[in-house]
Amino acid sequence: MADKQNVKESEVDKNLALQRILLEQEKERTKQAKQRAKEKLAEQRTKQAEQRAKEAEQLARIEVARTEQLRLEKQKRDDENKERSKLMKTIDGQFISISTSALKLLIDESGYYDKFVAPYLYPIDIVPLLNDNNINVTNDMINIFAKHFNPLKSCGKIVEDTVQFVFDQAIEELFTTFKMYTSLNYLSTRRKFYLNGLAPGCTFIYKSIKIDQNDEHEALQDFAVCLGELKSTLKESLEDKSWIGQLMRYLDLLLEIQNREKVYGFLTNVQYIRFYCVEKNQNSPFNNYYHSKDFNMFFMPSASSSRADTLQLNKNAKQRVFNIDTMELFIKFLTMNASFYEYRTLNIDPDESLLSDTFYIKTRLGNGATSMVYELVRNDYNQSPDYSKLRAIKISKAPEHEPCFKNEVKILKQLESSDNFKLFYENVLNSSPTGKFIIFENLLFELQSLTLIQSKQFIDIIESLYNCRIIHRDIRPQNLMLDKKCERLKLIDFGYAATFEINQETKQLPIEGVISYAGLKFFSTLLLNPVMVCCYEYERTFDLPCAINLIMYMTDNDVKEKLRSFKDLQSIQERMGAAYSYWLDRKNKNKNYADLLNLIDNSQGSPDFGLIKNEIETYFNMLH
């Protein structure tokens, strides 16, 4: 019995010992877990501290850059003030400062010549420049002017209306008959106040462009290549300061509006013609002006010339004699190679059709970094107005943007096979094979804000792109448009879009497009690099946070005002730093916004676009 009792007690002792061991092990595991949690917390705090240190370092770099920028701005203002001090006007014994641009608007033509032109006017020999023309000026060309200039041979006084009519008829016939030899088209614009409220007598555009002067709104000024001014014979000399000042004002305006470097023009009173060139001076608010010598368009009866008598229209002593040499020079001016005219505003090939046989350009719809967009109207629109007769044409600003245009056409071609293509995207009607322009089937309209339905449509578009393995990379308000025919939101401008291969989730690409609405990962990656990087590893979901941020921008005025204020910051680093801080702060303080971002960041594979649209609906409910 005693042995059995001892055995039983021994087993109890063993059990107790085992329980003590298990308890000690559990305590040890608990201790280790607490230690690991403590270490993890410490590690998190260390990372947070490091992150804060990096952010503080970044902010410090931004502040240093900002300080330097402020210094440079102050220096620039000081320099500008010195320049403005040269333009002082006395009123009632007091001096007031007037800017160059404001003074140009206030002053009359004679004063314009005295103040802005005469001190910077230099001679130029135009003949060698025009002799570079490869066109052989024929008698048939000259005879066109000889025929139409017949009313001008009289030695009597000829009014401007008559001069204008004669030049209109002659130039139009020359361009119609010898269209293959010129890059230009002619418009008589004496009574068309298209140039900042002013009306040059002669306007030349490229022959591939068609503009209805009676139905254009702020479009013609973008396409003017060179100008001319026609005067009466009441004054025998071209030295009238008001005439010169008037033409130079026109040419200056063209330089300013088109942001050009150089522009040509001519001034004539029938007896003489003089050529002008205005060139922007990068180191001064004043342009440089160049004038040729005066060329006789007619000889008086007593004059002689080796070629003047060959086409003498009338040998009566009271009539002028047509000067063939000058007319040949004028025809050369009108038939120079397109590069001579230095038109760089839009990337236009005069020989490449922009459907000008069917459509004319009416008004400018948009002005972007790489292109301008215009409304195209079918020629018979005014006879039977119909929305279906309206199109949109996007024209590139420079040859370096041609790859973007070709890429846009390529991407839209890829998207044609996707579901809801006509609801989400714009169909290409025609395009330049070299990437100079794209003509779209429908006319779209800008949006100032977004409704809940439109915001959900926007997410549907992003989902469509995701499923097609395409990212847009240029999400911004100007690229969200409304198609009024179907009342649907459409995404445009795929110049920077990129495609992903199957199973490819990221792709390193040059940083392009607007980045103001990019996600936090994009900003943090760039800001934490000491040297500004030029490439980024784009995610397939890159457009999604951009779309969410843009929805916030277009539905919340506070967000809009804040982001717009960043444009005042001078450097790209400052703007990125401000945007990153703003969106990070919004994520920390706004649960709905944080939930939207988490749906993207925590998604395994494809994001749940349905849940994202639900969260956007929650956001709209909070707004109202």
Q: How far is CA 540 from CA 180, 201, 507, 546, in A?
A: 50, 55, 8, 12
Query: Residue 444 and residue 493: Cα distance in Å, rounded?
Result: 12
594 close to 588: Cβ distance less than 8 angstroms: yes
- Here the tokens at position 296 are 């006789």
Instruction: For residue 539, give the nearest of 518, 556, 560 by alpha carbon.
Output: 518
Bridge partners of 158, per DSSP, are none
CA atoms 220, 221, 223, 224: torsion sign: positive
Given a contact cutoff of 8 angstroms between Cβ atoms, the answer to whether 402 and 390 are in contact is no
Structure tokens at 558: 């506070």
Residues 568, 311: Cα–Cα separation, whole Å: 65
SS3 534: coil
Q: Give the DSSP per-residue string, 44-113.
A: HHHHHHHHHHHHHHHHHHHHHHHHHHHHHHHHHHHHHHHHHTTSEEEETTEEEE--HHHHHHHS-HHHHI
- The sign one gets for the Cα dihedral 331, 336, 338, 339 is negative
- Are 516 and 483 in contact by the 8 Å Cβ rule? The answer is no
Is there a binding annotation on residue 318? Answer: no
Decide if 469 contacts 499 (C-beta within 8 A): yes
Residues near 398 by Cβ (< 8 Å), separated by ≥ 6?
Answer: 344, 347, 370
Strands 121-123 and 288-291: parallel
C-alpha 14/C-alpha 401 separation (Å) is 85
Cβ neighbours for 602, distance < 8 A, ≥ 6 positions apart: none
Distance, CA of 407 to CA of 498 (rounded, Å): 9
For tokens 């230095």, the residue is: 342
At 161, which amino acid appears?
Answer: D
Check if the beta carbon of residue 163 is closer than 8 Å to that of residue 231: yes
Residue 531 has which token pair? Answer: 């040297």
Residue of 424, 423, 358, 369 lying closest to 394 (CA atoms): 369
φ, ψ of residue 223 in degrees (nearest 5):
-105, -10
**Residue from 234, 310, 236, 318 nearest 272 by CA:** 236
What are the structure tokens assigned to 141, written together?
Answer: 């060309």
Residue 490 φ/ψ, nearest 5 degrees? -130, 145
State how far the alpha carbon of 303 is from the alpha carbons of 22, 97, 320, 321, 609, in Å. 127, 52, 10, 9, 85
Structure tokens at 31: 């201790």
Distance, CA of 575 to CA of 568 (rounded, Å): 8
CA dihedral 172, 178, 181, 185 (to 10 degrees): 20
Which residue ranges make up the annotated binding site?
394
From the annotation, which residues make up the binding site for ATP? Answer: 394
